[in-house]
Amino acid sequence: MDITHFGHACLLVETDGARVLLDPGTFSEGHTELTDLDAVLITHKHFDHFDIAAVEAMLKASPQATLVVEGTTAADVPESLRVRTQVVRPGDRFTIGGAEIDVVGGTHAQIHPDVDRIPNVGFYFTGSGFLHPGDEFTPPAVDVELLALPVSGPWQSLGDAVDYLRAVRPTRAFPMHEAVLSRPSIYYTYLENLKPAGTEFRVLEPGTAASL
């Protein structure tokens, strides 16, 4: 198995018989010109995992490819792709080009009690023991040989990543979901939306005096 990381949660997985792209989102780069894909797999509907316009263009360039999503994400799939879309749920098993894949997980990690949790599925390649969990820290009931480990996000701390890594106990692991480390605006947006009534939340410009 060969894996190419295109930033954040986007991974190209190449096995002897399959060429599969996972979670091409808006924070990823360098993947949009890929062709000869057998499938695009989406763990959940957040924009940093599912760039709808980019996926539509990539599937046009790979007319044999299937789009695999969970049920809530399926509602966001463009009409032009629905005939090529396979909807899955936790517990399912499907095959892409000889690669057997189990659907695990079920729910996105909690960002805050006031933010609704959405469905999230992980994809586990049974032949290699590779797991892409999406945005979830519930250890799956499978033996993981290789783990794509989320390392940053508004739903996790460093301690969460360490605890998940220790719970899964993979033979090997590599980091992903790192793009928000250089994009503090995603945190500022949550703080603005979740602040108490009557509180003004203001981001200071570095090097610029602000009257407060």
pLDDT tens, 47-72?
A: 999 999 999 999 999 999 999 999 99
pLDDT, position 211 = 83
pLDDT, position 6 = 96
2 falls in which pLDDT band (50, 70, 90)?
A: very high
212 falls in which pLDDT band (50, 70, 90)?
A: confident
Average pLDDT of the segment spanning 137-164:
95
Please check the confidence at residue 159 and state whether its pLDDT lies above 90: yes
pLDDT, position 11 = 96
195 falls in which pLDDT band (50, 70, 90)?
A: very high
What is the per-residue pLDDT across 76-95, written as a single tens digit (0 to 9) for each? 999 999 999 999 999 999 99
Please check the confidence at residue 206 and state whether its pLDDT lies above 90: no
Domains of the chain listed by start with CATH number? 2-194 (3.60.15.10)
207 falls in which pLDDT band (50, 70, 90)?
A: confident
pTM of the model: 0.93
pLDDT, position 121 = 98
**What mean pLDDT, rounded, does the chain reach?**
95
Say what percent of the chain tops pLDDT 70: 100
Q: How many CB atoms lie within 10 A of CB 182?
A: 8
